[in-house]
Amino acid sequence: MQTALEQYDPQIYELIRQEEARQSGSIRLIPSENYVSRAVMMASSSCLTNKYAEGYPGKRYYEGQQVTDLIEKLAQDRAKELFKADHANVQPYSGSVANLAAYAALIEPGDTIMGMSLSHGGHLTHGWKVSLTSKFYNSVPYEVNTETGLLDYDAIRDLAKKHRPKIIISGATAYPRIIDFEIFGQIAKEVGAYLVSDIAHIAGLVVAGIHKSPVPYADVVSTTTHKTLRGPRGGLLLCKAEHAAKVDKAVFPGLQGGPHMHTLTAIAVAMAEANTPEFVAYATQVAKNAKAMATKLLEYGFKLVTGGTDNHLILIDLRNKQIPGKKLAKALDRARIVSNYNTVPGDPAPPFNPSGLRIGTPAITTRGMKEAEAEQIATFIRRVAEDIDNDSLIEQISKEVLLLCSQFPVPEHFIIPSRNGVRP
């Protein structure tokens, strides 16, 4: 029997089918990608996509909010419990919007912000020069130590004392080590700055206790709801009670109109899934897999930024292999291994053809892969890198990857149907 989509738009149906096959038949190592559960996907595609709900629960600008108010309140309460935060705003359309809302809530345009340099592992929205955040605010980037790849908290403190920013941003998109949010909080207090912590990449590890939470130290915490948190594509803001009204006002009406209620509903489901022992076991395995993969890559002579990883991602500096990151990423893609080329600290190469490769373990761990498979994937990477122009070898590896994927099908459900252990 044909589905409605298949009948009405067979071209889009076929493209979706092809993408589903690609996701199933490849090893997805992009650290920001994952697989959502069937429950999250059903919520995302539910009738909530039909509903406008401009405003907040109990204070909407549209009628017919009897159900949406209950859903949003449930999502807020689950997020607050999960992260142990005073207040949660679940309406941001993305992590980028959430970051901008955090800044808008706390400071004025033209004020100084201080975030990690994009080329050293930060995010565009931490004030990088091509982002609107650098147009609205005076941006002073801090860097990692180019020799160790590690954050130099003394240097960050000195920079903060020199420029006296109104906001310091802690968090990263390509930093493989633990971030000490407590020290960032101390630095912010010393210079009279607010601390905004962006945990978009590590949120799942934070709720599982694998990475220290910034919630006790930061004025506002920003995150996406996908990546290691394994929810839909959305954003989330957590803050201290004293900032709640300003944060809410910055999101709506400051930056957005009506929230995407279908996404917000799926966020509520993801918050429940993350509040289970099964999710803690998953996040623990994510870190174990990353460490196993990193150790094997080191054995194969790959140079890793910081020499390894404490979280879900690995940043490979390919200069000693004399292979551009873009070339290796494209060769791996032909072998059904999906990664992304990335700058490394002190990279002399241009951003669109950098010297690094960024990989991570959230998606493969969702499929049930463990340390042995992580090491096997490192071997695939070595074989491609050592004979990168050998198309027949890459084709052979792609077949081996497909066989491995067939042993670990994409799961539809991550928690038992009775929801035992899930707290509403």
Residues annotated as catalytic are: 52, 54, 198, 224, 227, 233
Q: Which residues pair with 337 in a beta bridge?
A: 27
- By the 8 A CB rule, do 84 and 221 touch? no
- Cβ partners under 8 Å of residue 226, min gap 6: 32, 33, 34, 36, 232, 233, 234
Burial class for 389, CB neighbours closer than 10 Å (0-12, 13-18, 19+) = exposed
- Spatial CA neighbour of 203 closest among 366, 81, 39, 82: 82
Residue 242 annotated as binding site: yes
Helices and strands (H, E) in the chain, number of each type: 16, 15
Q: In whole angstroms, what is the distance from residue 235 CA to residue 267 CA?
A: 9
Token pair listed for 401: 């990857």
Residue 118 annotated as binding site: yes
Give me Rg for the CA atoms of the chain: 22
Residue 243 annotated as binding site: no
Residue 201 annotated as binding site: no
Phi, psi of 388 (to 5 degrees): -65, -20
Q: Where are the beta strands (DSSP E) in 142-234?
A: 167-171, 194-198, 220-224
Tell me the three state secondary structure of residue 256: coil
Binding-site annotation, residues: 118, 122-124, 242
Binding-site annotation, residues for (6S)-5,6,7,8-tetrahydrofolate: 118, 122-124, 242
